[in-house]
Each structure stands twice: as C-alpha cells, then as structure tokens.
Amino acid sequence: MRTQVGIIGAGPAGLLLSQLLHINGIESVILEKQSREYCEARIRAGVLEGGTVELLHEAQVADRMEKQKLLHGGIEIAFDGKYRYIDFVDLTGKDLTIWGQTQIVRDLNKARAEAGANLVFEAEDVAIHDYESDSPRITYTKDGEPLEVQCDFIAGCDGYHGVSRASIPQDQISSFERVYPFGWLGILVENPPVSDELIYAHSERGYALFSMRSPTLSRLYIQCNADENPDDWPDERIYEELRLRGGERVAADLVEAPSIEKSLAPLRSFVAEPLRHGNLFLAGDAAHIVPPTGAKGLNLAAADVRILYRALVAYYKSSRTDLLDAYSETCLRRIWNAQRFSWWMTSMLHTFPDSTPYERRLQISEIDYVTNSRAASLALAENYVGLPFD
C-alpha cells in the first residue's frame, strides 16, 4: 500500500491530522491497534481551548459540538472554607468549551469513514522501518496477513506506550519526566453538574475536581494513591470524600448518582526531545504527557497537529521544508509552557504525602494570593485559556 502520510494511532491527534490532510488533498493511512469501539469509549479530557475549537471547525467536524457544547467562563477554587472565582472572560476576553474527547473521536471517525479513509483498526505487530530515509515504511499484521504501508512521512500519534517513540534509539532521544506520588480516581455520572463552572478543591484530605461533560453528565475526581484499586472505592466512599474535600456549599449541592464509568489515572509530566527523527514526527501523548490539572493534554495534542499538518501542506503544495524542519522547536516551546503551568497547578492544589506543616501553609498562602490578586489571577487565566499560537 502506498500513501503520502502514514499515521500510527487513531486517537484524536491521529484522526484530526488525517482529516485536515484530507481536506487539503493529502492522502494518509491510519493504523490503530485497538478496535474502533474501544477508541470511541475511552473517557478522557473535555475542556477545549479556543485554538482547539477553531481547529475542529477547520477540520469540518464542529457541527455537533456547536449544538451541544457548554461554555466555560472561569473556574472556582475551593480552599480553607472559601470559594474564589477566577473570571476568564473578564480577565482575558476568552472562554473555553466543554466537549468530551470521546465525542471528538466519534465525530472524526464518522468524517473519516464518510470520506472513505483508509483506517485500519486492530492492526497488530506495527513496526516502523527506514524512517531516516526518503521512503519510510510501516509494517503490520491484519487478520493474520502481513502488510506494509510505504509513505513519505510517518506521524507517531500512538500515545505514551506506543511503538513510535519506542522505535527511536535511546541515544537519539532525550526524555524528561516527573512521576507524581498520587493519581486521580474519576467517575462519570448521569447527574447535572454541581456548579455551572468547574470547581477545583484543595483540602488536607487531598484534591478534588467537580467537572462536567454536558448539562446532565458530571465528571468527578478525587486525589488518591497512584496504586489504588478502583474496586476498593465504591461510589459511597467517593461521594463522602467529594463532600469532605469540596466544602460546605458543594456538600449541600452534590447529589449522588451511580457511576457509569470509574477509572484511575496516575499523574506524570513527560517530554521527549526532539520530536522529529528523519521523516518520523511525534505528536500528542507520544511526545508529551501533562498532569490533567491544567486541562492541557488534548489541547497540546491539537496544537502539535496544527503545526504538523500546516508544515505538510506547505511541503506538498509549495515544496517548502522550512516548517517541517522547525516542527520540533515550534512545538516544544508551547509544550514546555504547558508543562510549567500544569506542574504549577498540580503543585498548588494537591496534597503531597511528604509535605511539612510549613509547606502546607505556603500552599494555602499561594492559593489565597492567586485568587485574591488580579495580576496573579490573570497569569493563571491566560495560561488556562491557552497561549497564542503565533
């Protein structure tokens, strides 16, 4: 099989890249090790920056989002018995969109299928070859038959555990990582959100987040040990912690409903450098991971795709190579800004097991300052809504 761009991974990054290339007349093949049903069922991020929303419009997959989305104009931070609101619209003139990654993947899959895309699910034994040459190849097995994709470029969009980054010799890539001593235990419930805006709660018992996916669907998280078994957390125990951590107002407004999904996500910060190796380009979680505290993971992946697809369009339409050459440097500038912000939000709002009483007091003081100072609130707001692309 011959194509222009071979894409590994049918998550939001791989699908979005393929769709944008298609609109610009560039062929691609997507290989995904999981089934379509599995990919569309994964519960992930749901807060979209304006730049991500614009890219979904550019990809012609925004119609359903525009009809069903929620707008997110700020966040509340609950701490020490207080609730402080940071108004993003007032501070930056920008809001955010609540629209789940699951829905984005479904819309992209539908668009790619309607366009007759070559999208191979349940591809086994995927391997990358000759990516340093002008004729890279991807081999895989489908239904027991060995197959091959010949292409000009390979986009590795297959996540942290995927084959793309693992195909690069260790002496040719640098990794920067921090693993946090806790995770997020999240539940999805068919219940109206406890508030019109997200509530980030800091308490001595640990962090909690009160989020939403729709007017009737809530996403709730609590900080817990990274090695916890979700089965040890029945809904009643989770709701008890949510009430204790969220404060009196949240405790009064929170209505229990059975969870329809429950999962534990360890928290880590990770960056791989560089993101280009010959004609192999890393994008999304294959290149970087951020803690979800700052709502940057999906938005960073979309930013990578924006930069990569425009570089590929410039190459195929104008024979330009400068944007491809600058891909890694351009992406990494934004990635490290998001890493810093996500690390800071995580450090400010979570309870660390080895914190001293002095450090705990500093956390409360910092939250008090950030939520009480317009200048400090503006710094948080402009990072949360998304820094400019240019």
Q: What amino acid positions are annotated as catalytic residues? A: 72, 200, 292, 296, 384
Strands 208-214 and 198-202: antiparallel
The neighbour count for residue 116, using CB atoms within 10 Å, is 8
Beta bridge partners of 264: 185
Are 11 and 105 in contact by the 8 Å Cβ rule? The answer is yes
> Angle at Cα 19 formed by Cα 159 and Cα 281, nearest 5°?
40
Q: How far apart are the first and last CA of the chain?
A: 37
Burial tier of 73 (Cβ tally within 10 Å: 0-12, 13-18, 19+) = middle
Beta bridge partners of 239: none
d(CA 10, CA 17): 10
Q: What token pair was written down for 10?
A: 């049918």
Helix (H) or strand (E) holding 202: strand 198-202
Helical residues (DSSP H) of 247-373, grouped into ranges: 248-253, 297-318, 322-325, 327-349, 357-372
Q: Which phi and psi angles does 62 have, rounded to 5°?
A: -105, 0
d(CA 138, CA 193): 45
Helix (H) or strand (E) holding 264: strand 259-273
Closest among 95, 51, 93, 102 to 75, alpha carbons compared: 95
